[in-house]
Structure 1
Amino acid sequence: MQKNAPHKVFSLVSIFHKLSLMVVLYVLSVSCSNTKYLPKGEKLYTGAEVKFDKHYKSKIKASALEKMIRPLPNSKLLGLRVKLYAYNIAKEPKGKGLNYFLKRKFGEPPVLFSTMNINRNIDLLTNYLENQGYFNATVSADTIDKNRRVKAMFKVNVGNRYRINNIVFPSDSDSLNTYIRSTSKETLLKKNQPFIFETIKEERIRIDAALKELGYFYFNPDYLIMQLDSTNKNNTVDIYIKLKKDAPDKALHVYRLNNINVYPNYSLEKDSTYNLSMAVKYHDYSIVDVDNLFKPITFDRAIFFEKDKVYTRTNHNLSLNRLVNLGAFKFVKLQLTDADSLSRHLNADFYLTPYPKHSLRFEATGTSKSNNFVGSELKVLDRNRNFLRGAEQFILSVAAGFETQLNGSAPALNSYSLTPEVSLTFPRFVTPISRINKAGALAPKTKITANYQILTRSDYYTLNSAGLFYGYSWKESLRKDHVFNLVAINFVKPTNTTAKFDSMLVADPTLKASFQQQFIIGTNYNFVYTNQLESKRPNNFYINANIDFSGNFIGLLMPGKESVDNPSKIFGTPFSQYARGYVDGRHYWNFNRNTTWANRLFMGIGYAYGNSSALPYLKQFYVGGSNSVRGFRARSLGPGTYPPVTDNTTFPDQAGDVKFEFNTELRAKLVGIVKGAVFMDAGNIWLIRENPLLPGGKFRFGQVFNELAVSTGAGIRIDASVFVIRFDAAFPVRKPWLPNGDRWVVDQVDFGSKQWRKHNLILNIAIGYPF
């Protein structure tokens, strides 16, 4: 063996050298072949490089300047211009097909050096550097020309950067200049900070926004001039803020509101504004609603303008936001015009185009798994957008779903659900405190919901659940949403239990407690904080926090002390007592328009006490399924290291009091509306109390990460913006029920094995993204 070792090493080195030579030859061949397709006399532009003079330090990176230079060169993949090569080798397409795809969709035409204007790029870079405070910056350029390929080289001498020395606001004593001077404490211009032109522009916008709040409706940021004095010897600049002398007279005066007219049935096609003589007067508003579609009080709650009050941009935006978020109008337009040529008053006309009063909507979801489980849910919603003529939304929906496992000659395992629901949403707080409805940019809402669900699992039980909810929702700001259900009542009653299921309840007291007939009476609060609506941010986040209490207030009213053995009852039925909460945090890093890295972390815990020894079935946590740990069936995992049921005649139904889950997914556009993703999911559930029938299920903080299940996979998404159809294939790579040291099963992955695929590979079909 020892004698042959050197030969083996030599053989490997020889193979490596040959492979390296092949790669080099391939790179050279592709590079050369791209230039041979160029038109006669043309050269391929390969990009630009920026270098700074070493005598001066710059806070600006060379890469930032290189991105500004135009045109951009052809893109590269692993150092090769693959898209350019595909464009070159494709023939001119005569129709759809491979040549069309390579030439029009995938390929890139060559970027010719003749299209680059060196002097224009020098001016562009110089101007940018001056706007960053480098007033003495100079830029020169040269080119490197080789084998019909040209690279541009830019040399930058930035000089010293100028900083702000003094900021001088207007000293005149008239009202407008006095108001401008009064905003100086909020200025964005700070002494000793670098001079940046963008900050100058933002300062003008800030002053304009402050003046809009004081009634200067016709003012404009362009009416402000920022005079610079850079004659100081220490590379500093003084900034003088002044009004332009040619600013129009209208911009220098405060405006108040005159007539406020509302047209709630406006149509651009019909020009149905009607005559103001047909208007109904209500408080400060004239409402032209000849069809009597809306109660006048609807607009009093939504519009923040008042006659003879000073115009403010805040009330302007609040009014538009409130009207849009009523959900009754397709288009909302506000037109402000001079009341007359002499007075400083504005007429406000609100043109509102309503949605159709009734709409019908269908929703469908589906799952199909390689272990023969298939399922689907169909939901039908009938919506009335103006139920009581106050923009109330009345929704009647019915959802029906099923899941079944087809297993050859064995009897099919079926699960069916039917859920009718009715809800009524008022675009205000239904409360005796009327002033509270004027708070916030978006309309606060009161929602009343009643539902009933019948869930049948063949060979086990039928679970009947009736719910009644009364609560409020409001949007504190663009980022913050609140939902507070003051009353949340559920009545749960299992029926038609089979002997098989009854024997399971007898053997497992914890399972019996979670399935007993009971009331769930309490309150819950949900808070969402997100910046996802701010589309310009490269990274977005979403946090959903929920707390849920049951039986607390009722327990205080009951005589005696509640206990599991002697529970307090309402109408002869015990009520559950628990505290439950969770946090769902998500982060989205957008590398560019086509690539996003999405992450989610979920942590939840619930604790039953008093009347209850276990959380109600409806309130327990579970993992697995199309929106969770996708390499495992829904409810099949945990708790803890307890092994999943492998009996095909049993439905997976594992649940717990504690849940921890982490998901990461890289999403990228493939072509058109087709997107791809690779993902990894990890998670599990645990029990707060020990259950001898579920050994290994008790929560132990120090063992959380050691007891996580992990799966990975890839997916295809048809993202048509309006809807998303998702196909995710996943398989487990870590099984927590296996002995320590054997839980990672990556080495067992075998896509070629039919037996492995049958027991491990799961295909999930769903609507929408998992998170």
Structure 2
Amino acid sequence: MKYKSTDNFPIFIFLLSLLLGTASCSTTKYVGEKEYLLNKMVLKVDDKSINTGELKKNIKQKPNLKILGVWRFHLGLYNLSGRNENKGFNKWLRRIGEEPVVYEEFQAKRSLKQIEIYLRKKGYYNSVVRDSVLYKHKKAKIYYYVTANQPYRYRNIYHKVDELPYHFLSESQNKQELSDTSNLRKYVAADSLSSNIKSGLKVDSDILNEERIRISKLLKNQAYFNFSREYIHFMMDSTNKDHQMDVFVGMKKPALSKATLKYRINKLEIFTEYDSKLVLMNDLVYLSELDTMEYENAEFVFRKRMKIKPDVILSSILIKKGDLYNLNTVEQTYSRLQSLNQYKFVNVKFEEVHNTKSDSIGLLDCIIQLTPFNRQSYSVELEGTNSSGNIGFAGNFNYQHKNIFGGAEIFDVQLSNARETVKSSQQTDFNSSEYGIETKMSIPKFLLPFFNAEKFRKSYNPKTSFSLSYNYQQRPDYTRTIADASFGYFWKSSKYLRHTFNLVELNFVDVKNLSDNFLGSINNLYIQNSFADHVIATSRYSLTYNDQNINLPGNYNYLRFNLEVAGNTLGAIDKVFGNSKTIDYDDNGNIEGSYYDFFGIRYAQYIKSDIEYRFNHRINKANTMVYRLFFGLGYPYGNLKVLPFEKSYFSGGANGLRAWQVRSLGPGSYVSEDAIYPNNTADLKLEANMEYRFKLVWVLEGALFLDAGNIWAISKKDDRKGADFQLNRFYKEIALGTGFGTRIDLKFILFRIDLGLKLRDPSLEESKRWIIAHRPFRMNQLTFNIGIGYPF
């Protein structure tokens, strides 16, 4: 009765009825009289080591897509269409929907055969696969049963012909093999410890193919340019070996003698403004403008003049005249040229030099074709936000020059302006404005004063970055300006690992015009200090791991780790030179402490670190689960024993716990009775999110989410009641929120709307924190968020 008394309960009932009605519509509307809808597919395997996900890919017929595991939304759209398929509306419904999957016995038998083939590829030569079908109410449920039986495993692995048992190769097969004395066979045998084929592993044709690719790369890295993986083969013998196989890694004698010939780079030719269209058209104007220049044993071909300094281009090219051909060097050259962000097209090709004087080594001309981007570009960005009634908009003007000084430097300028209307606890609105300018410069060099890091530069191709920014924020309660300067580096140590190291980062924060109402709302001295004028001199390191493959949708991991240390260098300088401290007085004129300053402004000292992990699990093309964990901790000490406001953690908002307005949650169970607007920050943050995303219609997507977490204070000087982190109670102060959202994915941008609902609120009395059991539902309890892009 408590829930029925709410004004919006009829709306809830209507929406629920609509949802159930859609879900319960006949799914067999367009299934023929003697046909059956494939309602469910069940795969049962008796060997848990077999990858059932890969096994399911071999099944030719799968049931219609489901949302939440039960709702065939796309089939329902198709069934909403009328019988006349020529009508425009019916055609549209069928196009965006999904046609019913009708069970076919032929496809089931094909699936059985494909499963058997897959199992044999994985070493299960004696497996048994069968199926059974259950028919009920025009629906079919098919079961696939796999009895794997004992798999075959590798026993002995041979890389030399002389090591083989006498019966392994026939006389004709023996004649086709490269001899053990050949250099190619020696390279492969010497590198056998790196082989993917190991004694005791299950026989796997995919592993054999990977080994073929590995050996081919190994030999190409030894200058065998014309060697092909097709020359590598495997012979296996399982006779009387009790589910074991001996494997011989064979290498056939190449039909072409060039395949066993090493190659050296004869000439390096670089086209810096290559236009494939004009070349194919044999454009006389384009060809007449080409000029040639010799520089550092390389020949540059350009139009009119060199736009980028030749030494900058050569520093990204690891292929050198006179060196032996090496595939790794070629791949790294591709990667480095693309990372310059100067060229939209990069091609490295080789041409053999014929009629050479030597028969023992071949010669290659290396031709590198580079097609540049436009040097200058600009863009305009507009954003709108709405979080629990806080309406705002922002605009950015971005300008980029990709080669401002001729050294492939990338120069960015961003002008920004934002305004927001914020609702206070007194139900009055006030406006805030923000203006900013930011400039960045990225240089494809490793600038490190007083140190020689040539080996590091060659290995990781680091870049140096500079940035300057100025930000002005005007609010009714205070005015703040932030000036920032940084100098650092970024590089990639592997395909998935990226590092950023800001050696020096300076922030000057000036806070003025603090209103009496604002100071009254933060009567805690510890929090007031976080709004004082200060300088932050920090060094920051960030590591990011991301194994996402944009071109191949699937599961991927994302890990980000940050470590930040501030104020130690300035503190050491003050102590070494014996600089005097400034006395700090409180509002009553009493001495509160003392501190060092930097150009008359107090500087902060702290250490801060956080780690974030995300896992994206792709269930199928229409359903995805995303998980996120975040933990962060900042510890202030020394000169300013409080984390600056802009370095503190907060919770709530469109990218955190979406059932709470931004900065309105925590710390812990703390409740601020005097706060005019949400502004809660703290030193420690713990957050976990789970989001189920599903495709709906066209560009429309849906999401259901569950968010949990909070922030806490760790300093003993923070005396806000319930704000401190305690092991015996922090888990009782975990906030929990849920909700649903819609997304509009336009590929180049994604608009997001999320509605969050509180489930557990730590700011309430401990016995009443579960809101579902203690409060009737009302629409105004939903927290409304608009954002750009996915929340995580």
Counterpart for residue 289 of structure 1: 302
Q: Distance in 2 between matches of 1:206 and 1:662?
A: 40
Deviation at 1:676?
1.0
Q: Distance in 2 between matches of 1:770 and 1:285?
A: 49
Q: Distance in 1 between matches of 2:706 and 2:105?
A: 48
Q: Aligned in 2, Cα 1:390/1:178: closer, same or farther, shift over 3 Å?
A: same
**Range with greater deviation from structure 2 (651-660 or 563-572):** 563-572
Task: Tell me, yes or no, if the aligned pair for 1:58 and 1:158 is still in contact at 8 Å.
Answer: no
Which one of 322, 328, 331 corresponds to residue 314 of structure 1?
328
Q: Distance in 2 between matches of 1:723 and 1:133?
A: 46
Task: Tell me, yes or no, if the aligned pair for 1:562 and 1:611 is still in contact at 8 Å.
Answer: no
Q: Deviations over 1:248-293 (max 9, x none)?
A: 2222121121211111211222228858982222213211123321
Amino acid at match of 1:769: Y
Which one of 168, 192, 210 corresponds to residue 218 of structure 2?
210
Q: Distance in 1 between matches of 2:60 and 2:342?
A: 47
Question: If the length of structure 2 is used for normalisation, what is the TM-score?
Answer: 0.83
Task: Tell me, yes or no, if the aligned pair for 2:76 and 2:97 is still in contact at 8 Å.
Answer: no
Which one of 469, 483, 489 corresponds to residue 466 of structure 1?
483
**SS at 1:324's partner residue?**
helix
Task: Tell me, yes or no, if the aligned pair for 2:64 and 2:101 is still in contact at 8 Å.
Answer: yes
**SS at 2:728's partner residue?**
helix
Amino acid at match of 1:105: I
Q: Distance in 2 between matches of 1:592 and 1:247?
A: 45
Q: Distance in 1 between matches of 2:568 and 2:144?
A: 72
Q: Distance in 2 between matches of 1:58 and 1:694?
A: 53
Counterpart for residue 187 of structure 2: 179
Amino acid at match of 2:611: V
Counterpart for residue 502 of structure 2: 485
Q: Deviations over 1:625-667 (max 9, x none)?
A: 11111111211222222214586xx232221122222222111
Deviation at 1:246?
4.5
Task: Note the 1:214-293 alignment, pairs <5 A.
Answer: 214-271=222-279, 274=287, 278-290=291-303, 291-293=305-307
Q: Is 1:198 matched up with 2:188?
A: no
Which one of 108, 121, 133 corresponds to residue 99 of structure 2?
108
Q: Deviations over 1:600-624 (max 9, x none)?
A: 2222222222221312222111111
Q: Is 1:707 matched up with 2:724?
A: no
**SS at 1:185's partner residue?**
helix
Q: Aligned in 2, Cα 1:488/1:47: closer, same or farther, shift over 3 Å?
A: closer
**Range with greater deviation from structure 2 (724-733 or 145-154):** 145-154
Counterpart for residue 130 of structure 1: 120
Deviation at 1:447?
0.8
Task: Tell me, yes or no, if the aligned pair for 2:387 and 2:653 is still in contact at 8 Å.
Answer: no
Task: Tell me, yes or no, if the aligned pair for 1:92 and 1:103 is still in contact at 8 Å.
Answer: no
Q: Is 1:523 matched up with 2:539?
A: yes
Task: Tell me, yes or no, if the aligned pair for 1:31 and 1:80 is still in contact at 8 Å.
Answer: no
Amino acid at match of 2:205: F
Q: Distance in 1 between matches of 2:718 and 2:343?
A: 58
Q: How many residues of Structure 1 are paired with residues of Structure 2 in the alignment?
A: 727
Q: CA RMSD in A?
A: 3.5
Deviation at 1:687?
2.1
Counterpart for residue 435 of structure 1: 454
Amino acid at match of 1:425: S
Q: Distance in 1 between matches of 2:710 and 2:189?
A: 60
Q: Deviations over 1:5-36 (max 9, x none)?
A: xxxxxxxxxxxxxxxxxx9xx99x96886654
Counterpart for residue 600 of structure 1: 628
**Range with greater deviation from structure 2 (150-159 or 204-213):** 150-159
Q: Distance in 2 between matches of 1:711 and 1:572?
A: 45
Q: Deviations over 1:352-404 (max 9, x none)?
A: 1111111112233322144x321122221101011111111111111111211
Task: Tell me, yes or no, if the aligned pair for 2:527 and 2:718 is still in contact at 8 Å.
Answer: no
**Range with greater deviation from structure 2 (134-143 or 634-643):** 134-143
Amino acid at match of 2:270: V
Q: Deviations over 1:95-115 (max 9, x none)?
A: 432x23443332315536375
Counterpart for residue 644 of structure 2: 616
**SS at 2:530's partner residue?**
helix
**SS at 2:302's partner residue?**
coil
Counterpart for residue 14 of structure 2: none
Q: Deviations over 1:53-107 (max 9, x none)?
A: x9xx89658897565243446667878988778757741333432x234433323
Task: Tell me, yes or no, if the aligned pair for 2:526 and 2:718 is still in contact at 8 Å.
Answer: no
Q: Deviations over 1:679-714 (max 9, x none)?
A: 122222222234576222222233222122222111
Task: Tell me, yes or no, if the aligned pair for 1:69 and 1:121 is still in contact at 8 Å.
Answer: yes
Which one of 567, 588, 592 corresponds to residue 551 of structure 1?
567
Amino acid at match of 2:321: K
Counterpart for residue 419 of structure 2: 402
Q: Which has the higher contact order (CA 8 A, sep 6+)?
A: 2
Q: Distance in 2 between matches of 1:688 and 1:585?
A: 23
**Range with greater deviation from structure 2 (100-109 or 296-305):** 100-109
Counterpart for residue 8 of structure 1: none
**SS at 1:292's partner residue?**
coil
Q: Is 1:425 matched up with 2:442?
A: yes
Q: Distance in 1 between matches of 2:670 and 2:132?
A: 70
Q: Is 1:349 matched up with 2:367?
A: yes
**SS at 2:273's partner residue?**
coil
Q: Deviations over 1:384-433 (max 9, x none)?
A: 01111111111111111121136899753111111111111101211353
Q: Aligned in 2, Cα 1:228/1:47: closer, same or farther, shift over 3 Å?
A: farther
Counterpart for residue 83 of structure 2: 91
Task: Tell me, yes or no, if the aligned pair for 1:555 and 1:562 is still in contact at 8 Å.
Answer: no
Amino acid at match of 1:174: S
Q: Aligned in 2, Cα 1:465/1:198: closer, same or farther, shift over 3 Å?
A: same
Deviation at 1:446?
0.8
Q: Distance in 2 between matches of 1:399 and 1:356?
A: 24
**SS at 2:481's partner residue?**
strand
Which one of 151, 164, 172 corresponds to residue 154 of structure 2?
164
Q: Aligned in 2, Cα 1:705/1:96: closer, same or farther, shift over 3 Å?
A: farther
Segments of structure 2 that go 5 or more residues without pairing to the other structure are 1-19, 162-179, 585-592
Counterpart for residue 303 of structure 1: 317
Q: Distance in 2 between matches of 1:364 and 1:80?
A: 37
Q: Distance in 2 between matches of 1:438 and 1:518?
A: 36
Task: Tell me, yes or no, if the aligned pair for 1:262 and 1:351 is still in contact at 8 Å.
Answer: yes
Q: Distance in 1 between matches of 2:154 and 2:130?
A: 28
Q: Aligned in 2, Cα 1:241/1:566: closer, same or farther, shift over 3 Å?
A: same
**Range with greater deviation from structure 2 (638-647 or 624-633):** 638-647
Task: Tell me, yes or no, if the aligned pair for 1:163 and 1:235 is still in contact at 8 Å.
Answer: yes
Q: Deviations over 1:426-480 (max 9, x none)?
A: 0121135361464345x4211111111111111x110111111111111111222
Question: Percent identity among equivalent residues?
Answer: 29
Counterpart for residue 634 of structure 1: 662
Deviation at 1:568?
1.3
Q: Distance in 1 between matches of 2:760 and 2:370?
A: 57
Amino acid at match of 1:668: F
Q: Aligned in 2, Cα 1:743/1:270: closer, same or farther, shift over 3 Å?
A: same
Q: Is 1:445 matched up with 2:463?
A: yes
**Range with greater deviation from structure 2 (217-226 or 339-348):** 339-348
Amino acid at match of 1:96: G
**Range with greater deviation from structure 2 (540-549 or 339-348):** 339-348
Q: Distance in 1 between matches of 2:558 and 2:202?
A: 34
Q: Distance in 2 between matches of 1:37 and 1:494?
A: 77
Amino acid at match of 1:176: L
Q: Aligned in 2, Cα 1:417/1:65: closer, same or farther, shift over 3 Å?
A: closer
Amino acid at match of 2:398: L
Deviation at 1:765?
0.8
Q: Aligned in 2, Cα 1:602/1:67: closer, same or farther, shift over 3 Å?
A: closer
Q: Is 1:359 matched up with 2:377?
A: yes
Q: Distance in 1 between matches of 2:218 and 2:497?
A: 24
